[in-house]
Amino acid sequence: MFNANKEFIDVAMKRKKADLVLKNGKIIDVFSRSIIEEDLAIHEGVIVGFGDYDGVEEIDLQGEFVTPGLIDGHIHIESSYLTPEELGSLLVNFGTTTIVADPHEIVNVKGLDGLNYMIEASKNTELDIKYVLPSCVPATPFENAGAIVNADDMREHMKMEDIIGLGEFMNFPGVIYGDEECLKKINLAKKNYKIIDGHCPGLRGLELNAYIGAGITTDHECMTEEEMKEKISKGMYIQLRHGSACHDLERLIEVVDEKNYQRCMFCSDDRQPETILKDGHIDNHLRIAVKHGLDPIMAIQIATINAASCYGFNERGAIAPGRRADLAVFKDLKDFKNTMTFIEGKKVSENGKHLSKVKKANMEKVINSFNVKNFSIDRLKLNLKIEKANVIEIIPGGVVTKSIVEEIEVDEKGDFLYNPNRDIVKIAVVERHNGTGNVAVGLLKGYGIKSGAVAISIAHDSHNIIVSGTNNEDMAAAVEELTNQGGGVVLIKNGKVIGRMELVIGGIMSDKSIEEVNEKLKDIHNIAIEELKVNSNIDPIMTLCFMSLPVIPELKITDEGLFDVNKFDFIELEIE
């Protein structure tokens, strides 16, 4: 927080020059939804005010628009496969200055060592990364993760200034049924005056009352417009999501109006480098919102002051005297092409280029460790007695799946037979953290793969190995190869590796540069679609990695079996 001092007052009163003055810009006033056409003075990283100021440095903006720095209200850094330093150097190129990050991916793999690594790494980037403490490690009791973090484990971290809240509370059944451990975590956050993020797709009525009443403030999981309206009317902030796999913003933006926009913010949740380099970050949300008819300045309010208000960032989110000089400069309010980004008055990006070198934190405690036991090709074989099964069906554009029943073909031993004329293949989850030997096998529709197999160690949220393919041989080879390389992505066809990407940090993040990760991802995607014929309407990696998330309806698979999210219980693959 900025402390008042005489020098700042002297600059404000024009008795002394400001460090920096932005001349001839159009300043977006998010308080009164208007445009101020005056010069903007900045001193020691803080906004002095508007007026005819002189600066030690002066920049002529030539009529471009100055907005508060953009804020992402909810993101998982790990889903970019980049370290915090690399992602920070990328996001500032699009006008983002603050993100609220939930590191529950790395914490599910590496425990609190993972959280500590993320906090240290974030000190090496200009992007201001605010962390929430993961609430659900593991995400549910229905899978095996690399760590268990309970309320007692959280006590010291919850007191930390680096931690601003409790991360998305995915175990909403635990909340609404009064689970003791869930309530201990919530009350620990409340005791430390921390915000609590939510995650409750489809929750309505009395159950929603209980969930919100327990103290949960935000949600980025709205399945319908009516659900979004109810959550807002009951006091929630809604994070309008547009990531690589989930495009809820386009579906929900029609709900936003004069009556409720102040309870909305933007978030990316999970966004890969290719998506960011192609479409941008929160600037992409602005373009989408304006394209759908939202007033541009209202969209900017959603991207800035709303998120700041929600999370208690009273020193940012607006352009006003005494606020942090976190600023984005755009050519116009339609395409939102970013030309400059300032963080605490320092220019960190210009014309899409990050202006400083990337320095990385020590990764020693988060390098991979795989503990796969008792895996063989036989673990992928089924012994079905009837030819009718519960099948996970992918819905393009999101991570919600359908639970469907399909007639299938089986061999003489009851194992599933792939039919190239039908888009149904095997999917399996192999436990990789605790040596349990767990392998669960199910069936997947809509992935489109017509030959070979794809195996990944990115499997939300416990990040076991997830593999899908048309035959047992390629699936087993993919799992073995992935284990041997220490995680990441492996593509197999006819027993041979045709594509791979190593992710040495917990099996979910790369130690490489943005450029290297992006090129490798593009290769992986192209090979998956062109060689293996994965459905071109979905992201072949990100879509697959969400098939094991047992808190998103309707049907998922964990290392312990096929999981019906609506029933919140396991079900058999076979239909009795």
Q: Which of 158, 176, 159 is nearest to 167 (CA)?
A: 158
Helix and strand totals (H; E) in the chain: 17, 30
- Residue 368 has what pLDDT? 79
Three-state DSSP string of 124-164: CCCCEEEEEECCCECCCCCCCCCCCECHHHHHHHHCCCCEE
Phi, psi angles (nearest 5°) of residue 458: -105, 100
- Please give the pLDDT value at position 458: 95
Cβ-defined contacts of 51-54 (< 8 Å, 24+): 51/14, 53/14, 53/17, 53/18, 53/21, 54/14, 54/17, 54/18, 54/21
CB count within 10 Å of CB 486 equals 16
- CA–CA separation, 228 and 222 (whole Å): 6
pLDDT at 399: 83
Give percent of the chain above pLDDT 90: 93
Residue 278 CB-density burial (10 A; 0-12 exposed, 13-18 middle, 19+ buried): exposed
Q: What's residue 1's pLDDT? A: 61
pLDDT value of residue 90: 97
Closest CA to 428 of 462, 388, 459: 459
10 Å CB burial of residue 3 (0-12, 13-18, 19+) is exposed
Q: Cα(73)–Cα(197) distance, rounded to whole angstroms?
A: 10
Question: What's the whole-number mean pLDDT along residues 95-108?
Answer: 97
Q: What is the pLDDT of residues 462-516, one digit of tens each?
A: 999 999 999 999 999 999 999 999 999 999 999 999 999 999 999 999 999 999 9
Token readout for 374 is 């008792």
The rounded mean pLDDT for the chain is: 96
Please state which architecture CATH assigns to domain 71-313: Alpha-Beta Barrel (3.20)
Say what the pLDDT of residue 568 is: 87
pTM of the model: 0.93
Residue 140 is predicted with a pLDDT of 82
On the question of pLDDT at 4 being above 80, the answer is: no
Number of Cβ within 10 Å of residue 409's Cβ equals: 12
Tens digits of residue pLDDT in 505-562: 999 999 999 999 999 999 999 999 999 999 999 989 989 999 999 988 999 999 999 9
**What distance in Å separates the CA atoms of residue 171 and residue 196, rounded to the nearest whole number?**
13
Instruction: Point out the least confidently predicted range of 63-77, 238-252, 280-294, 464-478.
Output: 238-252
208-251 pLDDT, tens digit per residue, is 999 999 999 999 999 899 999 999 999 999 999 999 878 899 99
Cα separation, 260 vs 236, in Å, equals 11
Strand partners, 388: 407
Instruction: State pLDDT tens for residues 425-470.
Output: 999 999 999 999 999 999 999 999 999 999 999 999 899 999 999 9
158 pLDDT more than 80: yes
pLDDT at 369 over 80: no
For residues 282-304, average pLDDT: 98
Give the whole-angstrom CA distance, residue 496 versus residue 482. 13
From 162, 252, 168, select the one nearest 217 (Cα to Cα): 168
- Beta strands 26-29 and 96-101, pairing class: unpaired
Helices 296-303 and 282-291, interaxial angle, to 10°?
150
Q: How many CA atoms lie within 13 A of 360 on its CB side?
A: 14
Residue 396 has pLDDT above 90, yes or no: no
Instruction: State yes or no: pLDDT of 397 exceeds 80.
Output: no
Separation CA 249–CA 236 (nearest Å): 17
- Return the domain boundaries, the chain: 71-313, 367-571
